[in-house]
């Protein structure tokens, strides 16, 4: 199999980034946008071709999807055993991710052509988009854990650049810094985890690590499992640290605080971050090391599942009371990512490993409908020039196309058949039902809340009677805005019919998953009921919301301020860390470290000043010193 074209998939966006970044100022902004889109379109075609080849032509040998490494070469060779390789890994999840990332990124590229028109840094924007896409593709294709980490950090830095794109807006700068610092904080744990796991697994190579750590016959398993710290083995700690890294990128509680603030970036960027690139990196990370987690650390998987389930319901509750439409979508992303994470973690109870397929399926469908939600919300924001849903209402007549696609996306995320979200969510809930009833109940409640807040958003934007001034005349937008919306809407309708249980599974073999009637009916009923409740409250302007707020009082305030997580962070950093750690350290640095260095400098200066007059430049002076010294020496020798 000639595999060189796989390297082109991440390489083309990188070429686009370098070219537009360096030479973008020499030609009109429009051309750099077109160029970036063209590069990515080629890349998307290649990814589509690769996905077709892999899933339907040559990937499966004897009914099992193979893991292959079309490209691998050693990059750094520290010692014969310690080799950092760069290469590409081709297995069901990486191929699926290639398709998702390129597809969503292409949609965002096309959409941005109109959305960002007239921006001052239009070509820079496209360069950054290229960098972002490249980083994510590089991460997805990683064959080596160090390569994975490099891609991981590149994703972090490009998201920083894009969130802070409006760098003259202080809130955007703060949001970019917040995202970067929190994800970096999590990445520190990721790095420690990498060191522990690669030390125990005796390799940096991901396939070797998996084969070393996921079979009972492997050599190292027993000793690290025997020694433990706080009830966890060393390997479990390493894997937990890796998950913390993933939790930072995927915005799991309590590291989720950066994601809602990341809405300060341009809306298409939010679509990219939420749907395809950044937040799913954590899910991908857990999926990548899934065999190790399942075999060596089921206790960590339980923690992962609990974290995911808690985050899912926690974010869904917050999403119900937010007014900024992008923030509602942000919390809904956190909640949906929580779904994926707990689906992965469900294998910790050892019933089956179908949660892997369910999580990947939900990742796929979520990418499509979340991109659709963000891009259509972007259209609304573009024409209203406000993010606040209280400024919106009765837009369904003015923006019919946006209205239709937004409705499709809402139905998809709420889990109404036959839209995409129904199938993946039902699969997750089905696995949860078989595995752990508590998590199943949390999942069902979250599904209801999801339907409720999505339709709250939908009715507030498109139905509630309100006089709204549309800023730009044509509410449909240009073709470059509507085409991605329509394509994604088709995806949101059709993606559910892809037979994921045959294509993407934990071991490459198709699994037989029967849908459980109770789960299906329950999921549909709760979604429909929530939609009706939502319609009852928000379809018309009425006093129910205000009454509810009054009735709930303190609880409402608690939820509305996002459970004060931001305030707790501020308290911990400003009051505790700054005062108890940073200030003493700063004092020591200023008065002890610095002044000892200054003392050495001052002494040297004083000595030099006092002896520098000796070098007068007068040869006769030198000569008299010389003769005098000579005489003294002679005298000494004569005395002795």
Partner 1 sequence: MFGVPISHVLIVSTALFFIGAYGFLTRTHLIMVLMSMELMLNSTCLNFIIFNKYLFPGTQDGLLFTLFIITIAAAEAAIAIAIILNLYRNFQSVSPEETTTLKY
- Residue from 2, 217, 617, 637 touching partner 1 (CB under 8 A): that is 617
Rounded Cα distance, 580 and 512, in Å:
57
Tell me: does residue 598 bind partner 1 (CB under 8 A): no
Exactly one of 540, 598, 604, 616 binds partner 1 (CB under 8 A); that residue is 616
Three-class secondary structure of residue 286 per DSSP:
helix
Distance between CA 200 and CA 194 in Å, rounded? 10
CB of 613 to partner 1, least distance (A): 12
Nearer to partner 1 by Cβ, of 548 and 627: the residue is 627
Q: Which stretch binds partner 1 (CB under 8 A): 245-253, 286-294, 369-377, 611-619?
A: 611-619
| Distance in angstroms (rounded) separating the CA atoms of residues 197 and 210 | 10
Cα gap 434→483, rounded to integer Å = 41
* Candidate ranges 93-101, 435-443, 509-517, 615-623; the one touching partner 1 (CB under 8 A): 615-623
- Segment lying near partner 1 (by CB under 8 A), choices 319-327, 345-353, 468-476, 623-631: 623-631
Indicate the residue among 585 and 631 with the shorter CB distance to partner 1.
Answer: 631
> Binding partner 1 by CB under 8 A: which of 1, 609, 619, 638?
619
SS3 277: coil
Question: Candidates 187-195, 196-204, 331-339, 614-622 — which segment interacts with partner 1 by CB under 8 A?
Answer: 614-622
Say whether residue 620 binds partner 1 (CB under 8 A). yes
116-123, long-range: CB < 8 A, 24+ apart: 116/33, 116/266, 116/268, 121/165, 122/29, 122/30, 122/32, 122/33, 123/20, 123/24, 123/25, 123/29, 123/32, 123/33
Give the ranges where 252-393 is alpha helix by DSSP (H).
258-261, 267-275, 280-288, 290-296, 298-319, 325-345, 355-384
Find the shortest distance in angstroms from Cβ 624 to partner 1. 5
Based on the shown chain and the rule CB under 8 A, indicate whether residue 609 belongs to the binding site for partner 1.
no
Helix axes 92-115, 355-384, angle to 10 degrees: 0
With vertex at residue 27, the alpha carbon angle to CA 24 and CA 31, rounded to the nearest 5 degrees, is 85
Residue 613 binds partner 1, judged by CB under 8 A: no
> Which residue, 529 or 633, has its beta carbon nearer to partner 1?
633
What distance in Å separates the CA atoms of residue 11 and residue 40, rounded to the nearest whole number?
Answer: 10
Interacting positions 368-407 with partner 1 (CB under 8 A): none
Q: How far is the CB of 622 from partner 1 (least distance, A)?
A: 10
Q: How far is the CB of 620 from partner 1 (least distance, A)?
A: 5
Give the residue with the Cβ less far from partner 1, 397 or 618: 618
How, if at all, do strands 60-61 and 232-233 pair? unpaired
627 binds partner 1 (CB under 8 A): yes
**585 binds partner 1 per the rule CB under 8 A:** no
Considering Cα of 633, then 636, then 639, then 640, what sign does the dihedral take?
A: negative
How far apart CA 173 and CA 160 sit, in angstroms, is 9
Contacts of partner 1 in 149-188 (CB under 8 A) = none
Does position 623 interact with partner 1 (CB under 8 A)? The reply is yes
- Whole-number Å distance between alpha carbons of 105 and 273: 10
Among 418, 624, 629, 633, binds partner 1 (CB under 8 A): 624
User: To the nearest whole angstrom, how small is the minimum distance from the Cβ of residue 610 to partner 1?
Assistant: 17
Nearer to partner 1, 572 or 627 (CB): 627
Q: What angle do CA 202, 207, 208 make, to 5 degrees?
A: 25
Coil vs helix vs strand at 542: coil
615 near partner 1, rule: CB under 8 A: yes
- As a whole number of angstroms, the distance between CA 364 and CA 500 comes to 10
Q: Which range binds partner 1 by CB under 8 A, 83-91, 474-482, 535-543, 618-626? A: 618-626
Kindly tell me which of 607 and 627 has the beta carbon lying closer to partner 1: 627
Considering the complex, state which of residue 171 and residue 616 has its C-beta at the smaller distance from partner 1.
616
Strands 83-90 and 228-229: unpaired
Q: Which of the 8 DSSP states describes residue 65?
A: E
- For partner 1 (CB under 8 A), the number of binding residues is 9
Please, what is the minimum distance in Å from the beta carbon of residue 634 to partner 1? Answer: 12
Contact between 625 and partner 1 by CB under 8 A: the answer reads no
Question: Would you say 467 or 618 has its CB closer to partner 1?
Answer: 618
Q: What is the smallest separation between the CB atom of 619 and partner 1, expressed in angstroms?
A: 5
Q: Residues with Cβ < 8 Å from 111, sequence gap 6 or more?
A: 268, 271, 375, 378, 480, 481, 484, 485
Q: Indicate whether 632 belongs to the interface with partner 1 (CB under 8 A).
A: no
CB of 628 to partner 1, least distance (A): 10
For residue 47, give the 3-state DSSP assignment: helix
The least CB distance from residue 632 to partner 1, in Å, is 15
Phi, psi of 388, rounded to the nearest 5 degrees: -90, 125
Nearest distance in Å: CB 627, partner 1: 6
Distance (Å, rounded) from C-alpha 320 to C-alpha 582? 38
418 upstream amide cis, omega within 30 of 0: yes
- Binding to partner 1 by residue 618, rule CB under 8 A? yes
Interface with partner 1 (CB under 8 A): 615-620, 623-624, 627
């Amino acid at each position: 199999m000639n595999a060189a074209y796989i390297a082109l998939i991440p390489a083309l966006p990188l070429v686009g980034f370098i070219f537009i970044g360096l030479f973008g100022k020499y030609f009109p902004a429009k051309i750099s946008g077109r160029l970036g889109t063209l590069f990515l379109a080629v890349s998307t075609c290649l990814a589509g071709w690769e996905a077709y080849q892999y899933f339907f032509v040559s990937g499966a040998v004897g009914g099992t999807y193979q893991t292959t490494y079309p490209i691998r070469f050693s990059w750094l060779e520290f010692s014969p055993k310690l080799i950092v390789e760069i290469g590409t890994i081709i297995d069901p999840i990486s191929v699926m991710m290639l398709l998702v990332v390129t597809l969503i990124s292409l949609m965002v590229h096309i959409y941005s052509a109109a959305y960002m028109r007239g921006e001052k840094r239009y070509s820079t924007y496209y360069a950054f988009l290229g960098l972002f896409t490249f980083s994510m593709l590089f991460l997805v294709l990683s064959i080596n854990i160090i390569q994975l980490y490099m891609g991981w950090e590149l994703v972090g830095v490009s998201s920083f650049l894009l969130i802070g794109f409006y760098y003259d807006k202080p809130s955007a700068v703060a949001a970019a810094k917040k995202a970067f610092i929190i994800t970096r904080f999590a990445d520190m744990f990721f790095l420690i985890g990498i060191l522990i796991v690669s030390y125990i697994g005796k390799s940096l190579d991901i396939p070797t690590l998996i084969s070393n750590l996921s079979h009972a016959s492997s050599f190292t398993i027993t000793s690290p499992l025997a020694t433990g710290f706080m009830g966890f083995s060393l390997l479990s700690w390493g894997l937990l640290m890796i998950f913390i890294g993933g939790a930072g990128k995927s915005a799991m509680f309590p590291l989720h605080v950066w994601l809602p603030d990341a809405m300060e970036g341009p809306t298409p960027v939010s679509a990219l971050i939420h749907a395809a690139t950044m937040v799913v990196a954590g899910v991908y990370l857990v999926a990548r090391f899934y065999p190790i987690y399942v075999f060596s650390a089921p206790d960590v998987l339980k923690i992962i599942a609990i974290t995911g389930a808690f985050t899912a319901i926690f974010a869904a509750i917050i999403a119900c009371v937010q007014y900024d439409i992008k923030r509602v979508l942000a919390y809904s992303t956190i909640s949906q990512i929580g779904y994926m994470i707990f689906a992965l973690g469900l294998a910790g109870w050892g019933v089956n490993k179908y949660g892997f397929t369910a999580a990947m399926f939900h990742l796929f469908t979520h990418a499509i409908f979340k991109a659709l939600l963000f891009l259509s919300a972007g259209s609304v924001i573009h024409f209203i020039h406000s993010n606040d849903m209280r400024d919106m209402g009765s837009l369904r007549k003015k923006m019919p196309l946006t209205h239709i696609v937004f409705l499709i996306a809402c139905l998809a995320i709420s889990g109404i058949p036959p839209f995409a979200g129904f199938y993946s969510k039902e699969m997750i809930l089905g696995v949860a039902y078989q595995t752990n009833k508590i998590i199943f109940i949390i999942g069902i409640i979250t599904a209801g809340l999801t339907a409720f807040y999505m339709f709250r958003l939908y009715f507030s934007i498109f139905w509630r009677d309100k006089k709204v001034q549309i800023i730009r005349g044509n509410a449909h937008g240009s073709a470059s805005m509507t085409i991605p919306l329509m394509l994604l809407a088709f995806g949101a309708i059709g993606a559910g019919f892809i037979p994921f249980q045959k294509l993407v599974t934990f071991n490459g073999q198709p699994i037989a998953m029967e849908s459980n009637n109770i789960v299906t009916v329950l999921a549909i009923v709760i979604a429909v009921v929530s939609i009706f409740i939502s319609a009852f409250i928000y379809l018309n302007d009425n006093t129910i919301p205000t009454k509810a707020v009054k009735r709930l009082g303190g609880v409402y305030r608690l939820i509305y301020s996002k459970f004060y997580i931001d305030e707790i962070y501020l308290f911990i950093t400003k009051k505790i860390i700054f005062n108890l750690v940073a200030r003493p350290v700063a004092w020591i640095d200023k008065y002890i470290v610095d002044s000892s260095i200054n003392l050495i400098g001052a002494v040297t200066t004083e000595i030099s000043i006092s002896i520098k007059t000796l070098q007068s430049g007068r040869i006769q002076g030198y000569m008299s010193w010389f003769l005098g010294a000579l005489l003294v020496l002679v005298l000494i020798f004569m005395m002795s």
